[in-house]
Every structure is written in structure tokens, then in C-alpha cells.
């Protein structure tokens, strides 16, 4: 059985046929068009190419940023460059020649759907997932069902307030989790410190090759003993740990999954984070909740989108 997975991103649209083992058997990547008139034929061309290269899929799963109504596949809210999709049904835009079921949801829930079918969340009824990237996304499975809430907003864990008088967030709130722990936040704080003249091994990199001064290089510098990087990374991890401990008390999950490219820091993130979360939560919970990395290795979003079809209960 094949399933078509589509990830609609701000820079690229990635589509692929996924088999029942979670392997991509054919894929296509195209630049994300700037307007709807170009978007529709571009997506249709990609889907047509995949159909010709493989076969008609058993279903279609679509991941997209914003607030998506999973029942209708309508894009309810989508700020930014893809705003032209707002108000439209993604199922109407795919251009499938045959009548096959189409599922859609936001990118964080899509990532968790993939983990439910092929990854760390298989057979687990209560899971919290954070996607740690340029921002912070989130998704929750409670008693075996994806939590969506009254208007589909539930699970936006990156907008949990951690500093009431903190930095402004694009959502309109202040001090959201993603303003203190995200690639953008960590890189921004490091750049600000370097710009002020703070001593760091990263100074030359930030000034001469700023495109290489990423969150990962900051974590690497911290692991190598750079004092500035250590202070910034430690502060960010403590904030994330405090937020996660609060989420454990709210959702009482069996497992926490961390995805996104910031989670690629591996043990440099997971080991201190686990210690902080344990210290803040075990008193009431009476147990340790494991923090694990995302197991679905595909970073394209294609496999996760396919998971929406394989696990329609999601």
C-alpha cells in the first residue's frame, strides 16, 4: 500500500509516495509559489509526476503550518507568505484524478502522527511532542487521540507563557516559550552578546560568516567550554525544562518526544534537560517521564503527513 504525503512549507513543497513501512519510494520537491495561481498548477504537476512514477495511493496526508480544520482540511489561520491558502480546503487543491481520502493537519501534529505509526509513540496513549526549530511547535496525544480543542488551537505549546513580561512574540503574547528556547532565540541572544563585545570563540564566526553561526554551532561551542555559549545554552535549557515540567503536570504523559533540528544537539540537550525536568516534576508525578528524540528520521515532513492516513484516529 502506498500513501501520498505532502508537506507545504514556506520555502518548499515536498511530496512523496510512502509505503506501509514508512519508506519514501518516490518524492518530488518544488519551490513554494508566491501566489495561489502558481501554487495550484505546481502542486498538480508534482502529484501527476508521482502518480506516473508509482501508482494511485490509498490516501493523501497533508501537513501545513497554521491552524487546519482536520474534518474539512480547511486552512483556518495561516499568517506569513502562505496566507493566500487561508480559507481554502487543502483537499480541493491536491488535484487527485480519483476519489481518495485526504487528511490534513498542522506540521507539529503531522510529525506526531508519524511517530504514532512508525516511531517513538507507537502503542502509547499519552504523549507530548515538541518540535524545536526556528520556532517551537507542539502536539499532544491524550488517551489515544490527538488533542485539538474547541477551535483546533490546542497543542500550540510554543506559545506557553514562560516570562509574563518577556519579549514580544509574533502571536501577540509576551514571553512565549519560543521567544526563549528556539533556534531564532538562541542565535539572537548570542549575536546580541557578541555585538556587545562579550568574549567568545564564536565572535569571528558571527562577524565573518554569520550564515554558519547556527544554533547547532552554539551548542557545539558550549560543549567545548566556550563560556558565553555555555551561559546562553544553559539558560535556554533551564527555561525549556521549567516549561516541560509544567506540561507534564498538565498532561501526565507516558513519554515526551523532541523533534526539530535543535533536538539534533542530542545528549548536549537531552541529558541536562532530563535532569531539570525530573527535579521539577517527580515530586508530584512520583515517576520519571522519559524524554526521547524523534525516531522518524525523515526531516522532509512527507512521512509524517503519510502518517495521517495510516493512523486516521490521529
pLDDT digits (tens, 9 = 90+) for 262-284: 998 999 999 999 999 999 999 99
HSE toward the beta carbon, residue 83, CA cutoff 13 A: 3
Query: How many Å apart are CA 181 and CA 186, to the nearest integer?
Result: 7
Instruction: Give the span between the Cα atoms of 173 and 166, in whole angstroms.
Output: 9
Q: What is the pLDDT of residues 35-79, one digit of tens each?
A: 999 999 999 999 999 999 999 999 999 999 889 999 899 999 998
Concatenating the DSSP letter of every residue in 285-303 gives H-SPPPEEE------SSHH
Please state, in angstroms and rounded to a whole number, the distance separating the CA atoms of residues 115 and 18. 14
pLDDT tops 90 at residue 32:
yes
Query: Helix, strand, coil % (nearest 5) of the chain?
Result: 40, 20, 35
Report residue 34 CA to chain centroid gap: 23
d(CA 184, CA 214) in angstroms, rounded, equals 9
Give the pairing type, strands 67-68 and 75-77: antiparallel
Rg (CA), the chain: 20
Predicted pLDDT of residue 99: 85
pLDDT of 308 reads: 93
pLDDT score of 1 more than 90: no
- All three cell numbers of 191: 549575536
Judging by DSSP bridges, how do beta strands 136-142 and 127-132 pair with one another?
A: antiparallel
Q: Record the cell numbers describing residue 78, joined without a space.
A: 495561516
Say what the pLDDT of residue 34 is: 94
Instruction: Work out the average pLDDT over 76-104.
Output: 90
207: part of which helix (H) or strand (E)? helix 203-208
Locate 159 and state its grid cell.
506559545
Residue 74 DSSP one-character state: B
Res. 313 pLDDT band, cuts 50 70 90? low
Q: What's the pLDDT at 176? A: 97
Asked whether the CA dihedral 157, 163, 164, 167 is positive or negative, the reply is negative
Distance, in Å, from the CA atom of 194 to the CA atom of 260, rounded to the nearest integer, reads: 26
DSSP H or E segment with residue 4: strand 2-8
Each residue's pLDDT tens digit, 103-134: 999 999 999 999 999 999 999 999 999 999 99
**What pLDDT shows up at residue 280?**
96
Amino acid at each position: 500500500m502506498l500513501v501520498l504525503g505532502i508537506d507545504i512549507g514556506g520555502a518548499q513543497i515536498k511530496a512523496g509516495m510512502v509505503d506501509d513501512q514508512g519508506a519514501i519510494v518516490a518524492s518530488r520537491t518544488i519551490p513554494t509559489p508566491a501566489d495561489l495561481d502558481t501554487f495550484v498548477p505546481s502542486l498538480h504537476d508534482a502529484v501527476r509526476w508521482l502518480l506516473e512514477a508509482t501508482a494511485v495511493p490509498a490516501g493523501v496526508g497533508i501537513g501545513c503550518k497554521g491552524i487546519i480544520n482536520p474534518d474539512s482540511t480547511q486552512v483556518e489561520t495561516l499568517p506569513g507568505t502562505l496566507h493566500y491558502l487561508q480559507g481554502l480546503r487543502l483537499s480541493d487543491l491536491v488535484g487527485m484524478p480519483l476519489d481518495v481520502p485526504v487528511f490534513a493537519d498542522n506540521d507539529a501534529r503531522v510529525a506526531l502522527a508519524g511517530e504514532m505509526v512508525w516511531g517513538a509513540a507507537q502503542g502509547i496513549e499519552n504523549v507530548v511532542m515538541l518540535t524545536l526549530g526556528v520556532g517551537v511547535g507542539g502536539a499532544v496525544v491524550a488517551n489515544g487521540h490527538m488533542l485539538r480543542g474547541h477551535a483546533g488551537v490546542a497543542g500550540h505549546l510554543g506559545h506557553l507563557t514562560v516570562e509574563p513580561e518577556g519579549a514580544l512574540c509574533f502571536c501577540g503574547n509576551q514571553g512565549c516559550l519560543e521567544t526563549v528556547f528556539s533556534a531564532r532565540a538562541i542565535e539572537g541572544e548570542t549575536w546580541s552578546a557578541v555585538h556587545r563585545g562579550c568574549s567568545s570563540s564564536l565572535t569571528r564566526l558571527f562577524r565573518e560568516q554569520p550564515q554558519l553561526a547556527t544554533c547547532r554551532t552554539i551548542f557545539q561551542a558550549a560543549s567545548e567550554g566556550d563560556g558565553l555559549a555555555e551561559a546562553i545554552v544553559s539558560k535556554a535549557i533551564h527555561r525549556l525544562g521549567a516549561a516541560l515540567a509544567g506540561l507534564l503536570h498538565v498532561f501526565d504523559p507516558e513519554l515526551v518526544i523532541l523533534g526539530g533540528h535543535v533536538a539534533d544537539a542530542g545528549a548536549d540537550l537531552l541529558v541536562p534537560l532530563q535532569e531539570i525536568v525530573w527535579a521539577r516534576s517527580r515530586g508530584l508525578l512520583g515517576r520519571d517521564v522519559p524524554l526521547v528524540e524523534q525516531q522518524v528520521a525523515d526531516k522532509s515532513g512527507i512521512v509524517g503527513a503519510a502518517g495521517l492516513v495510516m493512523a486516521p484516529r490521529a
